[in-house]
């Protein structure tokens, strides 16, 4: 029996993050982290931090970080908002921009945090189905709605929508805010950032967690028209003024300026991804054409759940989303070349032993 005091409590079904196991020999390919260290400039910046400054609140505007991001992307500071990872930026954006009685739209298969925020903030939503190839059908977003959000490339499929189709979606939705979640855009898709000058209702969200190897530091940002950014800041300051701590501001501002290192590590991951994709195909897998730092793969004879468990026992962690159309697939983060060699070696042996290896 529920206690009376429990009746008026806000009840939510939370998002389930990927597990963070901790074994010395593990190969961790389950949460799309970057296998390479962050820019050495982050290290230098952290070493310069004076512990005594911890007494003092950080800069509520996170000015140094906002300024550095703006410079790198050729924007003005009033076009940039920063938060504690893009999860924080996205949560604030849902709260700020999705305040209509009409449903917001996002794909049925996508980042599984969107429906959690929609439920938490009591935003009505509809989820148009991806097509038979796991692609977003732009026409599904041409109907009346209270806002649009989707990742590009999409998660967990890795499939990117061409920029011209994205622009069509924005064009057809100029009465609502359109949010593009570009968590994986640096691994080979085309960013919609240049479009923020043309469409005042477009917000582009990115993160330092994947392409900048800083998931543990929690830095995300949004770029858009100054009016959008102002509304976002108004909500942020009504919630928590000091979201970014001193270390995140310093490390983030230093790291983002190291463009050469960033390009080099992204290229390494892209190269490894394309190689692993070919290897998996030769083992009987089908993979989507992922432009992210992960692959979405299904084996014709071996159920994904079985592979997931077998890999796990070998301390190789990948992500599995049971049920529905994703239940046939594994989401495999791209690690270092050596990690992926070991991963492929295990699969080769396993499929051969269970008689499922395609020759
Ligand atoms: C990883 C991810 C995020 C959030 O990452 P943060 O670590 O909070 O920046 C947002 N959207 C998608 C689609 C992601 O995959």
Q: What is the pLDDT of residues 21-46, one digit of tens each?
A: 888 899 999 999 999 999 999 999 99
Ligand 1 lined by 86 (C-beta under 6 Å): yes
| Pocket mutation for ligand 1, best pick of 183, 205, 221, 333 (most atoms within 8 Å of C-beta) | 183
CB of residue 103 inside a 6 A radius of ligand 1: no
Q: Is the peptide bond before 201 cis (omega within 30 degrees of 0)?
A: no
Question: What ligand 1 atom has the least distance to the C-alpha of 110?
Answer: 13
Mutate to test the pocket of ligand 1, among 155, 158, 186, 216 (most ligand atoms within 8 A of CB): 155
What distance in angstroms lies between residue 185's CA and the mean position of ligand 1's atoms?
Answer: 11
Give yes or no for residue 156 CB within 6 A of ligand 1. Answer: no
- Of the candidates 144, 151, 68, the one whose C-alpha atom is nearest the C-alpha of residue 106 is 151
Task: Evaluate if residue 358 carries a pLDDT over 70.
Answer: no
Contact 106 CB / ligand 1 (< 6 Å): no
Query: Mean of the per-residue pLDDT values for the chain?
Result: 96
Confidence tier at 357 by pLDDT (50, 70, 90): low
CA 210 to centroid of ligand 1, rounded, Å: 8
Q: What count of other Cβ atoms lies within 10 Å of the Cβ of residue 288? A: 21
Choice among 90-94, 147-151, 323-327 with the minimum mean pLDDT: 323-327
Q: What is the pLDDT of residues 255-303, one digit of tens each?
A: 999 999 999 999 999 999 999 999 999 999 999 999 999 999 999 999 9
- Reported as a pLDDT band with limits 50, 70 and 90, residue 19 is confident
Whether 154 lines ligand 1, by a CB cut-off of 6 Å, is no
Answer yes or no: is pLDDT of 334 > 90: yes
Instruction: Check residue 207 and give its pLDDT.
Output: 98
C-alpha of 190 from chain center: 15
| CB of residue 66 inside a 6 A radius of ligand 1 | no
Mean pLDDT of 66-73: 98
The answer to pTM > 0.95 is: yes
Residue nearest to ligand 1 atom 14, measured at CA = 183
262 lines ligand 1 (CB under 6 A): no
Residue 295 sits at φ, ψ, to 5 deg, of -115, 150
| Ligand 1 contact, 111 CB (< 6 A) | yes
Which ligand 1 atom sits nearest the alpha carbon of residue 209? 7
Cβ neighbourhood burial of 291 (10 Å; 0-12, 13-18, 19+): buried
pLDDT for position 359: 47
For residue 205, the model assigns a pLDDT of 98
Residue 23 vs residues 27, 297, 312, 317: alpha-carbon distances, Å: 9, 25, 12, 11
Query: Is the CB of 87 within 6 Å of ligand 1?
Result: yes
Inter-residue contact 105 to 172 (CB < 8 Å)? no
């Amino acid at each position: 029996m529920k206690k009376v005091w429990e009746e008026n409590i806000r009840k939510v079904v939370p998002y389930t993050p990927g597990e963070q196991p901790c074994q010395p020999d593990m190969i961790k390919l389950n949460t799309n982290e970057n296998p390479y260290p962050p820019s050495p400039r982050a290290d230098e910046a952290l070493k310069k931090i004076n512990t005594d400054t911890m007494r003092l609140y950080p800069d509520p505007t996170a000015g140094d970080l906002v300024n550095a991001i703006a410079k790198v992307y050729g924007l003005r500071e009033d076009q940039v908002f920063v938060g504690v990872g893009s999860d924080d930026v996205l949560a604030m954006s849902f709260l700020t921009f999705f305040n209509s009685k009409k449903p917001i739209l996002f794909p049925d298969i996508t980042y599984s945090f969107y429906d959690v925020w929609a439920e938490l903030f009591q935003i009505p939503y509809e989820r148009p189905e991806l097509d038979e190839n796991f692609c977003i059908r732009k026409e599904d977003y041409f109907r009346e709605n209270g806002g649009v959000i989707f990742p590009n490339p999409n998660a967990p499929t890795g499939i990117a929508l061409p920029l011209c189709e994205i622009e069509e979606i924005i064009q057809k939705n100029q009465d609502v805010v359109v949010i593009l979640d570009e968590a994986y855009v640096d691994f080979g898709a085309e960013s919609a950032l240049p479009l923020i000058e043309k469409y005042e209702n477009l917000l582009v969200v990115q993160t330092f967690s994947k392409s900048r190897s800083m998931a543990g530091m929690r830095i995300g940002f949004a770029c858009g028209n100054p009016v959008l950014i102002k509304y976002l800041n108004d909500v942020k300051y009504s919630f928590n003024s000091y979201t970014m701590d001193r270390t995140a501001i310093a490390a983030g501002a230093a790291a983002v300026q190291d463009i050469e290192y960033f390009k080099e590590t992204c290229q390494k991951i892209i190269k490894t991804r394309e190689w692993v994709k070919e290897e998996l195909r030769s083992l009987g897998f089908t993979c989507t054409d992922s432009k992210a730092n992960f692959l979405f793969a299904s084996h014709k004879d071996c159920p994904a759940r079985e592979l997931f468990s077998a890999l796990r026992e070998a301390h190789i962690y990948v992500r599995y989303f049971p049920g529905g159309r994703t239940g046939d697939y594994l989401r495999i983060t791209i690690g270092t070349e050596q990690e992926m060699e070991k991963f492929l070696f295990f699969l080769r042996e396993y499929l051969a032993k269970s008689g499922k290896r395609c020759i």
